[in-house]
């Protein structure tokens, strides 16, 4: 009997209902966002046949994120983050409905599409700091690492389901994916009603752009003077900026692999499958030792898989390369997503995460621009292979010159750094 009580005492604590509801909302939002942008990329490429336009599509989404990051971070630190997230989801619903109505009119111009994607980016600017801080705010310390892994799992599950479902929906009607996306965002917003507010201290001052810009600068200074934070975020920025080939998937699918919307959907889903399998593993057995070295090795594998994707003309090999690429990226995301909140005081998380979101957006969306321009100049193969080689060079540089990141052993080391101050 005493042994049974001892076993029970050593079991991991249960995940609270409010966190489970939040994870469902994150899944629905991921499902809608990734499914929509994947098929929107195909629609744009079908309209013009230019890789450059795929890059410009990423730029249209990133520009408002960069412009609004200061105020978005302050808003997330000043108000109920559930409400900030929910209102931002309403903005995403509006942009998706706008895309539905425009695509239904048999469009010939990209300008309205870019404008609506810009609107979507405005909403995303407020989604990121609030949605990323909420799991940390709501998690008891003893389950924090599990919740971070489950958050990644929920997001990646959406990345799997979204492109597959939206690929079939696209075949049924080119305008229908955007209607489905609006429904997914609406379901996420409704699910947030089940999530309780976290007892986190809020900034007690007006949120104006001047003050918000000061707050963002404060968040940036905190990142800059915390070496492990600066290293983790800048590694993601440079590696994915160079190695992000996802934006070129519509061109790869058509020109290199000869597949249509359904094949493209499965390729995009391969990223979610690889990442989800890895996230599921990490939710049961998180990485706990040699954190920095594992991070750098994972980014190196990401670069090698990118090179493989660029060179192959086989759909099976491309699918496998995307699986491995995504698995490596999931390890990187897990480590960074754990380090950043642990190394940031709770009253600054919104501001720091908003600044980090600019770096993430720069790596993903500006990486899409870089891939689009490189694809236009060098062709798809040259752009993807060159990006993978660039990623490997970045890893080598960080391994040699950023020991503060390379030598991190455990997440507890990050907490110790925080306790002692920068």
Confidence of residue 91 (pLDDT cuts 50, 70, 90): very high
Q: At residue 407, what are phi and psi to the nearest 5 degrees?
A: -95, 10
Q: For the segment 227-271, what is each residue's pLDDT rounded down to a tens digit?
A: 888 888 888 777 777 666 777 888 899 889 988 888 988 998 888
Contact predicate 239/289, CB 8 Å:
no
Q: Is pLDDT of 416 > 50?
A: no
Region 120-132 average pLDDT? 88
Region 298-302 average pLDDT? 94
The Cβ of residue 229 has, within 10 Å, a number of other Cβ atoms equal to 26
Q: How far apart are CA 375 and CA 371, in angstroms?
A: 6
pLDDT at 98: 96
Contact predicate 355/219, CB 8 Å:
yes
Contact predicate 74/385, CB 8 Å:
no
Structure-token pair, residue 198: 């976290």
Q: Is pLDDT of 1 > 50?
A: no
Region 61-79 average pLDDT? 79
- Cα angle 408, 409, 410 (rounded to 5 degrees) comes to 105
Q: Is pLDDT of 2 > 70?
A: no
pLDDT at 11: 56
Confidence of residue 81 (pLDDT cuts 50, 70, 90): confident
Confidence of residue 318 (pLDDT cuts 50, 70, 90): very high
Q: How far apart are CA 274 and CA 260, in angstroms?
A: 22
pLDDT at 410: 82
Q: For the segment 26-39, what is each residue's pLDDT rounded down to a tens digit?
A: 999 999 998 998 88
Residue the block writes with tokens 């029970």 = 8
Q: Is pLDDT of 422 > 50?
A: no
Q: What is the DSSP letter of 386?
A: H
Choose among 370, 410, 421: nearest CA to 391.
370
Higher pLDDT, 304 or 374: 304
State what percent of residues in the chain have pLDDT above 90.
30
Structure-token pair, residue 60: 């249209």
Region 41-47 average pLDDT? 88
Q: Is pLDDT of 86 > 50?
A: yes
Confidence of residue 10 (pLDDT cuts 50, 70, 90): very low
Higher pLDDT, 218 or 329: 329
pLDDT at 418: 43
Higher pLDDT, 113 or 143: 113
Higher pLDDT, 386 or 216: 386
Q: Is pLDDT of 12 > 70?
A: no
Higher pLDDT, 88 or 143: 88
Q: Taking every pair of C-alpha atoms in the chain, what is the biggest distance, in angstroms?
A: 73
pLDDT at 303: 93
pLDDT at 260: 84
E strands in 270-316: none
Confidence of residue 3 (pLDDT cuts 50, 70, 90): very low
Q: For the segment 129-172, what is each residue's pLDDT rounded down to a tens digit?
A: 888 788 878 888 778 778 877 887 888 788 888 888 998 999 89
pLDDT at 207: 53
Q: At residue 97, what are phi and psi to the nearest 5 degrees?
A: -65, -35
Q: How far apart are CA 218 and CA 352, in angstroms?
A: 8
Region 111-139 average pLDDT? 88
How far is the CA of 341 from the CAs of 47, 214, 229, in angstroms?
42, 20, 10
Q: At residue 66, what are phi and psi to the nearest 5 degrees?
A: -65, -40
Q: Is pLDDT of 186 > 70?
A: yes
3-state helix, strand, coil in the chain (%, to 5): 85, 0, 15
Q: Is pLDDT of 280 > 70?
A: yes
Higher pLDDT, 317 or 153: 317
Q: For the segment 323-378, what is each residue's pLDDT rounded down to a tens digit?
A: 999 899 889 888 887 787 777 776 676 667 767 766 765 566 666 676 777 787 88
pLDDT at 181: 96
Domain ranges in the chain are 14-194+207-420
pLDDT at 9: 43
Confidence of residue 183 (pLDDT cuts 50, 70, 90): very high
Q: Is pLDDT of 6 > 60?
A: no
pLDDT at 286: 79
Residue 15: helix, strand or coil by DSSP? coil
| Fold entry, domain 14-194+207-420 | Growth Hormone; Chain: A; (1.20.1250)
């Amino acid at each position: 009997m005493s042994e049974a009580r001892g076993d029970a005492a050593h079991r991991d604590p249960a995940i609270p209902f409010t966190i489970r509801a939040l994870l469902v909302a994150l899944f629905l939002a991921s499902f809608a966002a990734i499914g929509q942008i994947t098929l929107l990329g195909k629609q744009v490429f079908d309209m013009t046949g230019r890789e450059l336009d795929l890059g410009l599509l990423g730029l249209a989404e990133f520009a408002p994120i960069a412009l609004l990051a200061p105020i978005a971070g302050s808003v997330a630190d000043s108000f109920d983050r559930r409400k900030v997230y929910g209102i931002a989801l309403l903005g995403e619903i509006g942009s998706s409905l706008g895309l539905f109505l425009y695509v239904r009119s048999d469009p010939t111009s990209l300008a309205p599409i870019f404008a609506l994607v810009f609107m979507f980016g405005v909403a995303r600017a407020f989604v990121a700091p609030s949605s990323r801080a909420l799991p940390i705010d709501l998690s008891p310390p003893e389950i924090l690492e599990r919740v971070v892994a489950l958050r990644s799992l929920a997001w990646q599950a959406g990345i799997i389901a979204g492109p597959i479902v939206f690929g079939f929906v696209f075949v049924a009607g080119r305008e229908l994916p955007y209607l489905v996306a609006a429904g997914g965002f609406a379901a996420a917003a409704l699910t947030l009603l089940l999530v309780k507010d976290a007892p986190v201290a809020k900034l007690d001052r007006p949120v104006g752009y001047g003050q918000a810009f000061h707050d963002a600068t404060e968040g940036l200074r905190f990142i800059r003077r915390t070496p492990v934070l600066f290293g983790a975020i800048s590694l993601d920025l440079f590696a994915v900026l160079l190695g992000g080939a996802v934006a070129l998937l519509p061109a790869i699918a058509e020109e290199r692999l000869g597949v249509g919307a359904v094949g493209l959907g499965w390729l995009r889903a391969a990223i979610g499958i690889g990442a989800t399998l890895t996230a599921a593993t990490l939710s049961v057995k998180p990485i706990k030792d040699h954190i920095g070295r594992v991070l750098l090795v994972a980014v190196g594998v990401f670069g090698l898989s990118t090179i493989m994707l660029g060179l192959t003309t086989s759909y099976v090999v491309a699918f496998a390369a995307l699986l491995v690429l995504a698995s490596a990226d999931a390890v990187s995301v897990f480590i960074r997503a754990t380090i950043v909140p642990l190394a940031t005081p709770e009253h600054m998380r919104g501001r720091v995460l908003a600044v980090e979101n600019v770096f993430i957006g720069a790596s993903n969306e500006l990486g899409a621009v870089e891939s689009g321009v490189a694809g236009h100049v060098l062709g798809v193969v040259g752009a993807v292979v060159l990006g993978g080689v660039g990623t490997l060079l970045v890893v080598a540089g960080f391994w040699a010159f950023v020991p503060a990141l390379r030598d991190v052993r455990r997440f507890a080391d990050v907490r110790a750094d925080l306790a002692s101050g920068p």
